[in-house]
Chain A
């Protein structure tokens, strides 16, 4: 069980209709690859975030399958076109079954 897992997201508070905005996300997570050994030579079990998704008003914006070679504290930056006011929902799914979620509202003027 990974400790201190905190999602962080940055989304502009408002945008013009049809504007392309930049979204930045980061989740603090050790992303233990499952390839490393501890001091006694035992394998440290894999513990990573294996999937990240972002939806806007229920519609998928991005859906990422994540693999063990991704570094600690995975950071994603991507763009989305915003047609109307609504809510971005960000979800990270952990190997241990936990899900971490964050939401951001955006207003279209």
Chain B
């Protein structure tokens, strides 16, 4: 009898541990992400109205192991912040014929607080939706008269990480109506289109199967509020279009190019799926 009781208790304990591991939803509310003990990050939010099949949006941070999660809670431990420091120096670096730097117009990176949260964004003068990278390159080429930076190069990704880092904690809030709507619809179309020999759409993994395992990987919702992301896999900051490319390649398809209109549209759509989550970049993922 005693034996049975003990076994019973052990099973109960196991059951508790098991359910905690399988359903982080129940416990995650208390275990919020706070960076440097000061920036509070919203990692779970009600889904934006335009999303038909989901009720809650969840940051990719929630799907990572506690060790990886901890790396993002302190800027000293976050390897992505090294890139941010590089960009901070680059912010003052003179470019082009008139020796213009980012700081010539924007004073300090902190002056760009809030910018990351609303990009990609409709640009009236250009008549198109622009990503943050496109905006940076517009400054580099048209303002400073310098050669454009490589869209997913280190210099660009680090600069985007810097601009993102000063907006951390602010809610993602990209506009999907008005002139941006057409691009947004195109992005949505891409999101639900099956690509490649494996015939997979973004939605097959990140909407139908998030929180499930795909072989050894724990699938997230594919939110991009944490980009640029420092990935332990390649030990570098990763741009969002490079990540898209990786996903599409994994479906065994020919991918769109980083910076292409297709990926810009997809970025707008995917960003809008994270409206309400906090800007997290540079985040740490595996």
Contacts and interface: CB of A to CB of B under 8 A. Distances in A.
A73 B79 contact: yes
B150 to A, nearest CB: 18
B79 A10 contact: no
Contacts of A73: 79, 82
A60 interface: no
B85 A6 contact: yes
A68 B38 CA distance: 37
Nearest to A27: B82
B97 interface: no
Contacts of B76: 8, 10, 24, 26
Interface in B77-103: 77, 79, 82, 85-86, 89
Interface size class of B (residues with CB under 8 A): under 10
Nearest to A24: B76
A28 interface: yes
A103 interface: no
A24 B75 CA distance: 12
B235 interface: yes
Contacts of A28: 82, 85
Contacts of A4: 86, 89
A72 B89 CA distance: 20
Interface string B36-58: 00000000000000000000000
A24 B89 CA distance: 23
Q: Which residue among B77, B79, B82, B89 has the maximum number of chain A CB atoms within 10 Å of its CB?
A: B82
A72 B85 contact: no
A4 to B, nearest CB: 6
Interface in B180-225: none
Interface in A1-34: 4, 6, 8, 10, 24, 26, 28
A8 B77 CA distance: 11
Contacts of A71: 235
Nearest to A26: B76
B92 to A, nearest CB: 14
A8 B86 CA distance: 13
Nearest to B236: A72
B235 A72 contact: yes
Contacts of A72: 235
Nearest to A25: B76
A24 B77 CA distance: 9
Contacts of B235: 71-72
Contacts of A6: 82, 85
Contacts of B86: 4
A54 B49 CA distance: 55
A72 B235 CA distance: 9
A8 B82 CA distance: 10
B126 to A, nearest CB: 33
B198 to A, nearest CB: 32
Interface of B: 76-77, 79, 82, 85-86, 89, 235
List the 6 shortest-distance A-B pairs measured between CB atoms, nearest first: A28-B82, A10-B76, A24-B76, A4-B86, A73-B82, A6-B85
Interface of A: 4, 6, 8, 10, 24, 26, 28, 71-73
Given A10-B76, A24-B77, 12 more contacts: A4-B86, A4-B89, A6-B82, A8-B76, A24-B76, A26-B76, A26-B82, A28-B82, A28-B85, A72-B235, A73-B79, A73-B82
9 contacts: A6-B82, A6-B85, A8-B76, A10-B76, A24-B77, A28-B82, A28-B85, A71-B235, A72-B235
